[in-house]
Structure 1
Amino acid sequence: MSTSPTPAPAADWLRLDQQICFSLHAASRAFGGLYRVVLKDLGLTYPQYLVMLVLWEHGDQPVKKLGEHLRLDSGTLSPLLKRLEAAGLVRRERSARDERSVEVRLTEEGSALRERALEVPRRIVTATSFDVDEIRALRARLDELTTALDEAAVEAARDGS
């Protein structure tokens, strides 16, 4: 029979080291620092790399759909796309079907960069010192956490809390 751990006293709830959000923030910043070094040879920032990942996986995308994949609004995404376009990796074009929509397409150079990027995930996995199964399990739990937090935010907005 297992017993639950004794809950921390309420005063401890406001300690920085007790905040899951801070642990996630610190891990995110650590990833950012590592990605900055690893992506330097590709000439990409981490957010630009994420855009390229979506395009390599899904092909041409309307800006709106790209934003949905990355959980970014167009105000954040547009400057990223401008820099990727200036670097010759993507092309933005008005959709022939809907003039209000802008399609993002990989250039030949952007498609070719995929081959060089294959080393990035291997370097990141090595740096974590986790095995692939541990990474999959962590990612699954983080996806569950994201879903729960999204649902809680909707509920809180509905309740006006």
Structure 2
Amino acid sequence: MNKPTTSPELMLDNQLCFTIYACSREFTKLYQPHLDKIGLTYSQYLVMMVLWERQECTVKELGEALFLDSGTLTPLLKRLQAAGLIVRERSLQDERKVLISLTEKGWALRSEAACIPAKLAEGTELSPDEFIRLLGEFKELLARVHQANVNSASK
């Protein structure tokens, strides 16, 4: 029996989503030795980056910044709190909101993590111009895909 040939649109190498997925996994591998040194997973590092930038935010705001739902975020936050890096507390103005802020230990970790972006840039062997160009293109792609998901969900 002759097997049908695969059409180009069904070939893995032609899938943008797979290339981005695989690239993301490879980036995470590049991060891991640096994150192991400071005791964070990649997801925890992303949470910490948002908090180092914003100082305090709600669980909802954190989820929006990281494109994560509260079901994914809650266990992450519990582990960060158990490690003594963050504090979770109910807002005094609105008890439905949970505020996330850094402890002194969480703030101190920032200085240990400061070298990680430069080490990753070195690891990718991208020039500064290539990095800036790709970052802009991927931000645009993310915005378009996110909007497509928003539009799809509202139908």
TM-score, normalised with respect to structure 1: 0.88
Q: Which residue number in structure 2 is paired with residue 90 of structure 1?
A: 86
Q: Which residue number in structure 2 is paired with residue 132 of structure 1?
A: 128
Tell me the SS of whatever aligns to 1:78. Answer: helix
What stretches of structure 1 of length at least 5 have no aligned partner?
1-9
Tell me the SS of whatever aligns to 1:130. Answer: coil
CA distance in 2, matches of 1:54, 1:157: 26
Q: Which residue number in structure 1 is paired with residue 3 of structure 2?
A: none
- Report whether the alignment pairs 1:21 with 2:17: yes
Aligned counterpart in structure 2 of residue 67 of structure 1, from 53, 63, 67: 63
Tell me the SS of whatever aligns to 2:87. Answer: strand
Letter of the 2:79 partner, please give it: R
- Report whether the alignment pairs 1:120 with 2:116: yes
The Cα RMSD (Å) is 1.4
CA distance in 2, matches of 1:123, 1:74: 31
Q: Which residue number in structure 2 is paired with residue 6 of structure 1?
A: none
Deviates more, 1:149-158 or 1:10-19: 149-158
CA distance in 1, matches of 2:153, 2:88: 35
Aligned counterpart in structure 1 of residue 99 of structure 2, from 97, 100, 103: 103
Tell me the SS of whatever aligns to 1:100. Answer: coil
CA distance in 1, matches of 2:150, 2:55: 31
CA distance in 2, matches of 1:127, 1:111: 26
**1:35 shift after superposition:** 1.4
Q: List structure 1 segments (4+ residues) > 6 angstroms apart after TM superposition.
A: none
Tell me the SS of whatever aligns to 2:99. Answer: strand
| Overall identity of the aligned pairs, in % | 49
Q: Which residue number in structure 1 is paired with residue 75 of structure 2?
A: 79
Query: What is the total number of aligned residue pairs between the two structures?
Result: 150
TM-score, normalised with respect to structure 2: 0.92
**1:158 shift after superposition:** 5.0
CA distance in 2, matches of 1:158, 1:146: 18
CA distance in 1, matches of 2:123, 2:136: 19
What stretches of structure 2 of length at least 5 have no aligned partner?
1-5
